[in-house]
Amino acid sequence: MPPEIYILVLGAFLAAFVVGAAGFGDALVAAAVWLHVFEPTVAAPLIVMTGLTIHVIALARLYRELDFTYLAPFLGLGALGVPLGTWLLAQIEAEPFRLAVGALLFLYGGGLLLIARPPVVKAGGKSLDAVAGGIGGVLGGLAGMSGAVPAVWCGLRGWPKEQARGVAQPYILAMHVLSLAAMAWAGLVTWETGERFLWGAPAILVGTVVGIALYRRLNEQLFRKLVLAMLAVSGLTLVI
């Protein structure tokens, strides 16, 4: 078996485990592993296809446990933000932008991990929720980070884990659908993409189930710390 298959399976398992436990982070985890052996144009559609599958499985298993009350405003502007972000990718330097976003995520996640009682934002209502969704969509099209801003915003809102995950997970799933459609239109999704995806499919299922088992054992405080740690690690990954 070629060595790249082992790396492919490892990346699929780790991405699925992280999403099962925290509800986001699949793209960054998979990219951190797979970009060592795959070209970006090969890895990108595989990352999106894998992430989409992970979120479908996780939502199917957790559907009755999540609260989707606050989801709708995020989706509207988020869907509009993805093509805007893709357009901006051709207009600005993406690397400095990723560096800046990574630094902010690292400082935000790491900083709030040190605060016992983080600030809670009550103002703005659905309008600010929609803005957060729109920014996430732009970042998704520009830097593949659609889930980071909704995760940050849900934390600032102080929502319990059922509501926070009820926003972040279906939001990321919707962004993955849009991204995969755009990649397929651009001819990046090939038979080889499907073959590689099938190699990682068992690891996706196992990783998601194990991650969800951990999620169900987390209380609100531990879940908050896990999300903040994920944001900090995601930011550090982008900076490095």
For the stretch 76-133, pLDDT in tens is: 888 888 888 777 766 766 667 677 777 877 887 787 777 767 778 887 788 999 999 9
For the stretch 207-224, pLDDT in tens is: 999 999 988 888 878 887
Exposure of 166 in the CB half-sphere (CA atoms within 13 A): 16
Binned at pLDDT 50, 70 and 90, residue 143 comes out as low
Distance CA 193, CA 201 (A): 12
Ramachandran bin of 25, using left for φ above 0, alpha for ψ from -120 to 50, beta for the remaining angles: left
Distance CA 224, CA 216 (A): 13
What one-character DSSP code corresponds to residue 152? H
- For the chain, how far is it from start to end, CA to CA, in angstroms? 31
